[in-house]
Every structure is written in C-alpha cells, then in structure tokens.
Homo-oligomer: A and B are copies of this chain.
Amino acid sequence: MKTMDWYNGCLVLLDQTRLPAEVRYVRCKKPEEVAEAIKTMKVRGAPAIGAAAAYGLALGAVQDNSTDKESFIESLQKISELLGSTRPTAVNLFWALKRMMKVVYDTHSDDVSELKELLLQEAHKILQEDLEMNRKIGEYGNSLVPRRAGILTHCNAGALATAGYGTALGVIRAAHEAGKQIQVFADETRPLLQGARLTAWELMQDKIPVTLITDSMAGYLMKKGRIDLAVVGADRITGNGDVANKIGTYTVAVLCKEHGIPFYVAAPVSTIDMTLAAGDEIPIEERESVEITTIGGQEIAPRGVRVFNPAFDVTPNYLVTAIITDRGIVRPPYEESLRALF
C-alpha cells in the first residue's frame, strides 16, 4: 500500500485521516489541494510531507502558464510559500521545497517546459530516494536491536509517514526481516491517534507482533521490564541533536532515561536542520482544540473547556542515545557527529 503516487498528472494520496476504518485515496490536481491535504493531515509524517510538497510544487509548475523563466520562478515562489505555510515544525517540508527551487535556479536552460519536466523528475527523485534512505536507516538501526526485544514506538514513523518502509518502523521492519523476536508496543498517540490508527495497522498488515497501549502506559511497561528500547521518528533535528517530534516523545525519552533504556531517533538526513543550533529555536505548531475535545465528531470534554494542543515537543540531546540516519548511526556529542554527516 503506497502512501503517495504520481498517476495521470495527479498526486494520489492515501487519506490517513480515514485509516484504519477506510482505505481511501484522494487525488490532488492543484498545489492548493496538496497544501490542504498536508494541513488537514491527510498526508503526514515529516518525510511524506516533504515528498508531497515537492509534488505540490511540480503540480503548480506543470499548470503554470508563464512563458519566461522569471515569471515562472515568481509563480513557483508563491506556490512554495503556500505549501511552506501549512505546517511549521517538520523541516523536510522546507528542505524539499528548497531542493525543488534549486533545480530551477541551477538549471541554465530558460525553457519553461524543460524546467517543468525537471521539477517533476526531482519530485520523483525525492520520493524514490526517501524509500532508499529508509531501507538504509532500517539496516543501520537493526544493528541496535537485540535478538529478542520489546520495542516501544510513539506516533507513526512508518511506511505511511514516508515514501515507504518507514524510519522508526523501518528499523522495526528490518529487525523483523532479520528474524529477530520482536514485540512492538505502540503508544496510541493522542490526540490524533496515529499509533492506534496507523502504526498498529501497518504492523498488523506486515504480521509484526504489535500491542496497542495508551500513551500513559509506557512507563508502567518499562517498569515491568517489558521494553528494551524505544525508537521514534523526527520532524526536525537541530545541529546539537535536539529532536522535535510528535507531542509525547519527550515523555518517552524521560521515561527511557529513568529506566536506563536506550532511546533512538530514526530519521533521514533531510530531517536534520543544521541552520538551527538548538531545539528551542524550532517553531512548535499548536493545533485546534477540537482535536482533543472530540473524537470522530463525538464530544468527549465539556463544551467551552480551555485546551492546550501543541503538536510537537522537543527532546533535548542528552536524552537521545543515538540518531539512526541513512548515512549511519550518530552518537553524542551531536554537534560534532551531525556536522560530520554533511
């Protein structure tokens, strides 16, 4: 099952807000539709958002009527701004848009139709490369997984969050493929339940043993000795190794520290933002209260209650045992080891 595909001049997205009840695809013909899909989390997960945005820009390019390169670039910049305004935290979004724009800036040709073709090729490349990167992340990450292991994961950093295979779930998939006896515990990940709806579903499809828990149960399992390692994805990693990821990740990392359990972050290098020195510089998206006060349209809290709904938190580098990238496993001190990757 593909998270996204390019078909007949459209970006086809698996609508992740409807899983697991319904497997439905949405077709995006315009960049505005891609922006909307990102904003409403039909497509989510840092690497998938990056690839979708690249296609969004390609869609805008294909449909643009400019005849000269200058006005073409102007159009693209506007579309890039639109796509970039959807979600502030995951850096892959900006990374992908920048990479796409670079194609236009770096190509000497003034032929707009040639540029359009190059942009579409670049979007394909971003998607394809992401899949390859995840395989490598899996390979490197597998070396950290014992032959028998209880593995905790938070949110969904799986095939659904990427071009396929996944980052954190890529590590889990690789360990499973290597014949290791693993038992995954999936935090349900409130408010949007990506763990319950997506991670549990993905792993069940691949027949990887998974047990669903609420976010509040991870500590209990660790205390009971059932968790040997935690592995999560990332939305942005700063130059010092601080990690922005789905809200609740920081709590998992603190619990790992308390129990002496390794806490791993799996992410492609496109998630590393060397322009930011530390995690407190990462903008943290706050989302609507309705995500907490209702589930599937049903009210679960008193009407009018005040709500705080940050979508991400930042895990400081001292809680991160290692970062598993497509270019190898990186360990503290991260200022040096991350710089060495580039």
Q: Which residues of A contact B (CB under 8 A)?
A: 20-21, 185, 187-191, 193, 196-197, 200-201, 204, 209-221, 223, 247-248, 250-251, 254-255, 257-258, 292-293, 295-296, 298-310, 313-314
Question: With a CB–CB cut-off of 8 A, which chain B residues contact A309?
Answer: 213-214, 217
Do the beta carbons of B293 and A295 come within 8 Å of each other? no
Q: How many copies does the complex hold?
A: 2
Indicate the member of A185, A211, A301 with the most B CB atoms within 10 Å: A301
A215 touches B214 (CB 8 A): yes
Given A185-B308, A215-B215, A217-B247, list of 19 further CB < 8 A pairs? A20-B302, A196-B292, A200-B301, A201-B302, A212-B301, A212-B308, A217-B248, A217-B308, A217-B309, A218-B251, A219-B248, A220-B251, A220-B310, A220-B313, A221-B308, A251-B251, A295-B296, A295-B298, A296-B300
**A258-B254 contact in complex given A214-B292, A215-B215, A305-B212, C-beta closer than 8 Å:** yes
- Return the 3 tightest CB-CB contacts between A and B, nearest first: A216-B248, A219-B251, A190-B214
- Inside 8 A of A303's CB, which chain B residues have their CB? 20
Tell me what chain A mostly uses at the interface: helix, strand, loop, or mixed. Answer: mixed
Chain B residues closer than 8 Å to A196, beta-carbon distance: 292-293, 300-301, 305
> Which of chain B's residues have a CB closer than 8 A to the CB of A191?
214
